[in-house]
């Protein structure tokens, strides 16, 4: 099953099993079924519960908030995470503040297609986790596997708090794997997981970057005899500090890699975390790998050079091992 | 209710709101209030009219000049005052204050400050009720959202009203054109001849009314709410009136021109005179209404002043209801 | 220019744009294009009409279906194609692509993707020119901004048009109602009878025109631009037309209903027939125009294909022009 | 002179000396002169150059962008930084991307009244630096002194890039100091400065928190014989890494304090920076002090307990010294 199909399966099962669930977003109704086809066929199977919205991200979000406060479990699809920038206020200042202010949680799920694809350019490739994570109240998750795309979307709808669900556009069609949707065994929404155990260093990543980390770890093993442990954050807000620190305590060295921009955000937060709470474990400085500090370039070659990949991680790991 | 009883009820609410606003301003002057105090002086008729025509199960998203509408919709003076005083009691528990109070369960939305932002959540609730099959055709529960002449120019307002129009939801937009957005005159905030002209662009019904004429407000707002209940889609009512006080108690409103002042009177004074002239009110009943309002407000103030402040030591610093996301898992 | 010469010039532009769009689509099919390709098929008349009535010093903020307007305003096929191909040459140097090309110095704004976001910068430039005393009363430089039926419902659009109306700036909003926002039908994006009704709510002039009738477009858009130049404030022109292609080349537009298709023809075919019938065009001149367009586009394609890709090694990864803020200090 | 008066003086001198400068914002024209009176009297002195805007933060920002691209030096006043959330897109995706995309910088100055005042509540007290700092392209400065309010505002207008100028509302009326506006001597826009030299530990802060840091340092000296060096970042994006690391290299211990929320942002960035590039200097883990991870409470007592103050810094410093 493909990453995108896992999301569609989860959506259809959610619509089938929970009358409170409906989906609202641009171009999601049939026959079209969404810019990425995540909702293909769903409006036909669930009449009146998969609704096209106007191009009004602020209102789309506010509408979900109102519906959630009235007992529904709305799922909003933004066509690209980049365009949620105009929904920023409703997300952080409304959805994110309701529980603390009123005691009533606001269970919306914001589905955000994130991440880069060659030729996508500055406004169709962004990673939004940093600007969604500073204000209190939002949960921000970024599934990197097909199974997580499925289970975490269901968990996101089960969560009482507003969840920003980051779906990586490159993984939509390029990531395929088998998994058992029936299996009761999957980690909780806020749990980071070790994708690959290792002893020499820890590579922390999330979303699409997890696959670069795994590829890098394989190469480090086969070509350099280095054993790298890969930690997939899965949930970037809040962080599973326990799992990160446990890995660091074993390896003593850590690289944090992200497709996002360098200033602030999860990479800074994890680096700060290990410096504050894992100081005694650190045999070397934590290393951050992030995108270049510019808008995301359109041209594929510039694009590929804009964010770290497995080669960059391998290089950083070799330097770190030598420290 | 007979029409006269209705009019008296409306007047009562207006008096109660005015009394409460004045008392809050006094509390502020007495340094009892942590934050700002905003009053609806001069806008009571329009605001109250909406609350009067709502019923339990409806929604009301008030803004900063809607004490009258809040009371008419069922908010108690005690909840109003204890919130303004930042007491631990009451809906916001001192975590949010003054005009940001509300209760989603009761359909009274606790505003966030960003103008225009409260309309789409009303639209969403109305949509949810349709989807959940909670609405009765021809007798819909409706949602009233307040906005000002200034707030009409926010992107949030535009997107929300348009979305409501597309879904033909029973939204009633209450536009109080009080000639100023804070200190800014209308000619600097919009260029149409009258804000009611926005309605046609959204494809919804538009109404005008004289916000200083309480009977006109009750009639026009009532008609709009009735049309929304009947399933005629969103309704927009624009009232012409003037804020007869500062933006907040901190503002002396010295920027309000004499010419403007001369054009708008006080809806409360007008209504009192009208009801007296028509014999609907007598000197005695008027005095009784005033005493009653003063007593209600004073009782609330005294009780609220005696209520506890938030307990810092016991405060739960949690922005999420899920305390342990590691264990959040779908069934 | 004589009116006939004008009409022929308009037709030329439409043919050139159609030829260029088709060639870009072909390049995409040939895997020469990194990103998406959006075409303006069916919308050339309306877009070109605007560009035809602009002059140097004016502003044009095109969107994704404005190849015709771009050419009419002076963009070269070479700059269009090299940008679509992501070449280092050309205004965006491979850093941004396809429809995001532009040149602020030439008054051709490089769009960001967020719909509605390009209107307020046009308003700001027009305001700046008034403040800087660069405008000549009665003969103002104007700014044309494109938007679609879908983009009309963004908060950004609302705020920008309202601000332009308040300042009475020479903004001309070109609304191409092509019946769909991507796959979404108009009944899901707005509820007014016709989008021109939004104009009254903003207090600006509104015009309708048949976007499939090139002469009508030239006349109506021309009148709007003339009014803006004369100082009559913002103008909104809404054209009814249909996108005769997918949203982008990746989209087969299978969601477009036959009924809708039957209601809208091809502005280019219509205009060609009209001009032939009226003898403004002859078989020869038509063939010449077509050959000329093909040659212009093909020359541009060949040159662009030969131009260098961005040099990753030499790329300067700087988002700020100030390289060392530590030393930034006012004089 | 008060902090607010320094801002007004800078604005009036900018309007007087540079015809390209104009100010656009809500309620800034006379006689009112702005919610905080920063522009009091300016519209009268500079007719037509101090313009009231509608309540349209997205358009206000886009208008400034257009004016700047046409050669002006617009200054936008947002009534409260909290409301710039609806201008987020124009700031980060438009102003911030123009130079990289087109080669033409976009010299706008966004004046943002930030920070908490008792009774301000969740939507009138926020610190926006984190969500303004992740996207590339924006400069984010936060003057903490009267002189900086004056000089940095002038420097911000001189800067070719878009500058977010964070003015602390509490300092507006409560901070008063004498300084010489004629003095040519002031640090550049991107420079951090040592407000108080010390040997035992470094306290990094910015905006209003600088004053808590200075008070804490004084108390640490007088009551505990600890010598704390206070570094005022002044510019949070980009960071003056040199000054921060130089101080750490002398003290070996560092506390980063902010009124902002804990996740991501400058405190995480500085902690990550010292862990990555100052690892060898660190005698103890870096310590971060930030606000509670909830919306900012309305009630003054809750409000005071929501963010760190001099007492919290002293406590953290004593613990750190003991490490
Ligand atoms: C998006 C946004 N920008 C700015 C403000 C600050 N503000 C609060 S009230 C107000 C004036 C509102 O004017 P209007 O909408 O006419 O309502 P009125 O105060 O006249 O009742 C402003 C600018 C805000 N609350 N929200
Ligand atoms: C704010 C925003 N939301 C979503 C999108 C994604 N998007 C790009 S084009 C488009 C449809 C636009 O429809 P319309 O405005 O009618 O223009 P048309 O494509 O029909 O010319 C959408 C939804 C966007 N660019 N900006
Ligand atoms: Mg008003
Ligand atoms: Mg369209």
Q: Decide if A224 is catalytic.
A: no
Q: Which chains touch A (3 or more CB pairs under 8 A)?
A: B, C, D
Mutate which of C148, C154, C178, C243 for ligand 2? The one with the most ligand atoms within 8 Å of its CB, which is C148
Instruction: Express each pLDDT in C86-133 by its tens digit.
Output: 999 989 999 999 999 999 999 999 999 999 999 999 999 999 999 999
Q: Which helix (H) or strand (E) holds B198?
A: helix B198-202
Cα Dmax for chain D:
60
What is the three-state SS of chain D? CEHHHHHHHHHHHHHHHCCCEEEEECCCCCCCCCCCCCCCCHHHHCCCCEEECCCCHHHHHHHHHHHHHCCCEEEEECCCHHHHHHHHHHHHHHHCCHHHHHCCCCCCEEEEEECCCCCCCCCCCCCCHHHHHCCCCCEEECCCCHHHHHHHHHHHHHCCCCEEEEEEHHHHHHCECCCCCCCCCCCCCCCCEEEECCCCEEEEECCCHHHHHHHHHHHHHHHHCCCEEEEECCEEECCCHHHHHHHHHHHCCEEEECCCCCCCHHHHHHHHHHHHHCHHHCCCCCEEECCCCCCCCCCHHHHHHHCCCHHHHHHHHHHHHHC
A56 contacts on C by Cβ (under 8 Å): 153-155
Cβ count within 10 A of residue B327: 12
Residue C256 has pLDDT above 60, yes or no: yes
Lowest-confidence segment of B15-19, B240-244, C79-83, C324-328 by average pLDDT:
C324-328
D273/D286 Cα distance (integer angstroms) = 10
A211/A219 Cα distance (integer angstroms) = 12
- Considering only CB atoms, C328 lies closest to which of D20, D93, D189, namely D189
Kindly determine whether residue D269 and residue A263, on different chains, have CB atoms separated by under 8 Å. Answer: yes
Residues in contact with ligand 2 (CB, 6 Å cut-off)? A 26, 55, 57, 79, 83, 86; C 65, 113-115, 148-151, 154, 176, 178, 180-182, 243, 247
Mutate which of A35, A52, A55, A111 for ligand 2? The one with the most ligand atoms within 8 Å of its CB, which is A55
Cα A56 to chain centroid, rounded = 23
The better pLDDT of the pair B90, C266 is held by: C266
Cα(A135) to centroid(ligand 1), Å: 23
Query: What's the angle, vertex CA B7, arms to CA B5 and CA B9, rounded to 5?
Result: 70
Instruction: Express each pLDDT in A111-147 by its tens digit.
Output: 999 999 999 999 999 999 999 999 999 999 999 999 9
> C interface toward A at CB cutoff 8 Å?
33-36, 86, 92, 94-98, 100, 112-115, 150-151, 153-156, 181-184, 188-190, 254-255, 309-310, 312, 315, 317-319
**Which residues, including other chains, have CB under 8 Å from residue C30's CB and lie 6 or more apart?**
none
B202 contacts on C by Cβ (under 8 Å): 190-192, 201
**Which residues, including other chains, have CB under 8 Å from residue A195's CB and lie 6 or more apart?**
A144, A210, A213, A214, A230, A231, A232
Query: What's the angle, vertex CA B215, arms to CA B209 and CA B219, rounded to 5?
Result: 65
> C interface toward B at CB cutoff 8 Å?
153-159, 162-163, 165-166, 168, 187-193, 197-204, 233
**pTM value?**
0.98
Q: Is C309 helix (H, G, I), strand (E, B) or coil?
A: coil
Strand A235-237 relative to strand A139-141, pairing: antiparallel
Query: Helix crossing, B155-167 with A57-69: angle to 10°?
Result: 70
Mean pLDDT, 10 residues at a time, chain B of 331 residues: 89 98 98 96 98 98 98 98 96 97 97 98 98 98 98 98 98 98 97 98 98 98 98 98 97 95 97 98 98 98 98 98 93 78
**Which residues, including other chains, have CB under 8 Å from residue C68's CB and lie 6 or more apart?**
C13, C14, C16, C17, C18, C40, C43, C44, C45, C47, C48, C51
What pLDDT, on a 0 to 100 scale, did the predictor assign at position B297?
A: 98
Strand A50-52 relative to strand A109-114, pairing: unpaired
Cα B17 to chain centroid, rounded = 11
Q: What is the mean pLDDT of residues D289-306?
A: 98
Cα(B151) to centroid(ligand 1), Å: 6
Retrieve residue C56's tokens: 């140097």
B155 contacts on C by Cβ (under 8 Å): 154-156, 158-159
Instruction: Give chain A's residues under pLDDT 50.
Output: none
What pLDDT, on a 0 to 100 scale, did the predictor assign at position D184?
A: 76
Q: Which helix (H) or strand (E) holds C10?
A: helix C3-29
Residue D125 has pLDDT above 60, yes or no: yes
Strand C184-185 relative to strand C180-181, pairing: antiparallel
What pLDDT, on a 0 to 100 scale, did the predictor assign at position C282?
A: 98
Cα(D195) to centroid(ligand 2), Å: 50
- What is the signed CA dihedral for D179, D182, D187, D189, rounded to 10 degrees? 100
Kindly determine whether residue A137 and residue D295, on different chains, have CB atoms separated by under 8 Å. Answer: yes
- Considering only CB atoms, A65 lies closest to which of B121, B159, B330, namely B121
């Amino acid at each position: 099953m493909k990453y995108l199909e896992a999301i569609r399966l989860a959506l259809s099962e959610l619509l089938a099993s929970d009358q409170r669930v409906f989906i609202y977003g641009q171009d999601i109704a049939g026959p079209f079924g969404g810019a990425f086809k995540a909702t293909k066929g769903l409006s036909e199977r669930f009449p009146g519960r998969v609704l096209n919205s106007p191009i009004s991200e602020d209102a789309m979000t506010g509408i979900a908030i109102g519906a959630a406060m009235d007992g529904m479990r709305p799922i909003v699809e933004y066509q690209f995470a980049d365009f949620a920038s105009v929904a920023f206020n409703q997300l952080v200042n409304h959805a994110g503040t309701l529980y603390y202010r009123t005691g009533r949680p606001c269970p919306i799920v914001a589905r955000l297609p994130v991440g880069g694809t060659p030729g996508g350019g500055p406004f169709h490739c962004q990673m939004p986790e940093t600007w969604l994570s500073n204000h209190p109240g939002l949960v921000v998750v970024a599934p990197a596997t097909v199974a997580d795309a499925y289970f975490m979307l269901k968990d996101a709808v089960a969560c009482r708090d507003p969840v920003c669900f980051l779906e990586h556009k490159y993984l939509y069609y390029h990531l395929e794997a088998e998994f058992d949707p029936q299996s009761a065994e999957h980690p909780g929404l806020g749990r980071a997981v070790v994708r690959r155990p290792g002893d020499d260093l820890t590579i922390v990543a999330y979303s699409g970057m997890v696959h670069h980390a795994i590829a890098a770890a394989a190469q480090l093993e086969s070509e350099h005899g280095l054993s790298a442990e890969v930690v997939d954050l899965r949930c970037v807000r809040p962080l599973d500090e326990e799992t990160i620190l446990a890995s660091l305590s074993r390896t003593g060295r850590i690289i944090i890699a992200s497709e996002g921009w360098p200033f602030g955000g999860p990479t800074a937060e994890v680096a700060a975390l290990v410096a504050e709470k894992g100081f005694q474990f650190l045999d070397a400085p934590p290393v951050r790998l992030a995108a270049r500090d510019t808008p995301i370039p359109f041209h594929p070659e510039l694009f590929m050079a804009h964010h770290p990949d497995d080669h960059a991680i391998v290089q950083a790991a070799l330097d770190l091992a030598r420290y | 209710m007979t029409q006269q009883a209705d009019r008296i009820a409306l007047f009562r609410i207006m008096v109660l709101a005015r009394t409460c606003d004045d008392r809050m301003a006094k509390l502020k002057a007495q340094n009892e209030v942590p934050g700002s105090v905003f009053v609806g002086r001069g806008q009571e008729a329009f605001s109250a009219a909406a609350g009067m025509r709502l019923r339990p199960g409806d929604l009301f998203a008030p803004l900063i000049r809607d004490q009258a509408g809040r009371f008419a919709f069922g908010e108690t003076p005690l909840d109003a005052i204890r919130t303004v005083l930042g007491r631990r009691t009451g809906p916001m528990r001192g975590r949010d204050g003054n005009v940001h109070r509300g209760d989603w369960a009761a359909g009274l939305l606790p505003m966030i400050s960003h103008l225009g932002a409260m309309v789409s959540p009303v639209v969403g609730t109305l949509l949810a009720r349709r989807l959940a099959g909670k609405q009765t055709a021809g007798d819909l529960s409706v949602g009233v959202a307040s906005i000002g002449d200034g707030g009409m120019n926010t992107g949030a307002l535009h997107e929300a009203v348009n979305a409501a129009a597309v879904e033909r939801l029973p939204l009633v937009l209450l536009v109080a054109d009080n000639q100023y957005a804070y200190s800014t005159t209308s000619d600097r905030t919009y260029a149409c001849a009258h804000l009611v002209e926005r309605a046609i662009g959204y494809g919804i019904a538009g109404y005008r009314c004289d916000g200083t004429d309480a009977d006109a407000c009750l009639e026009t707002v009532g008609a709009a709410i009735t049309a929304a209940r009947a399933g005629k889609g969103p309704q927009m009512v624009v009232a012409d009136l003037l804020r007869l006080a500062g933006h907040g108690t901190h503002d002396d409103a010295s920027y309000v021109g004499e010419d403007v002042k001369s054009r708008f009177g006080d809806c409360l004074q007008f209504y009192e005179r009208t009801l007296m002239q028509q014999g609907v009110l007598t000197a005695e009943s008027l005095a009784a209404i005033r005493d009653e309002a003063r007593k209600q407000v004073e009782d609330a103030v005294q009780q609220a002043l005696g209520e506890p402040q938030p307990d810092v030591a016991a405060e739960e610093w949690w922005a999420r209801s899920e305390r342990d996301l590691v264990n959040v898992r779908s069934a």
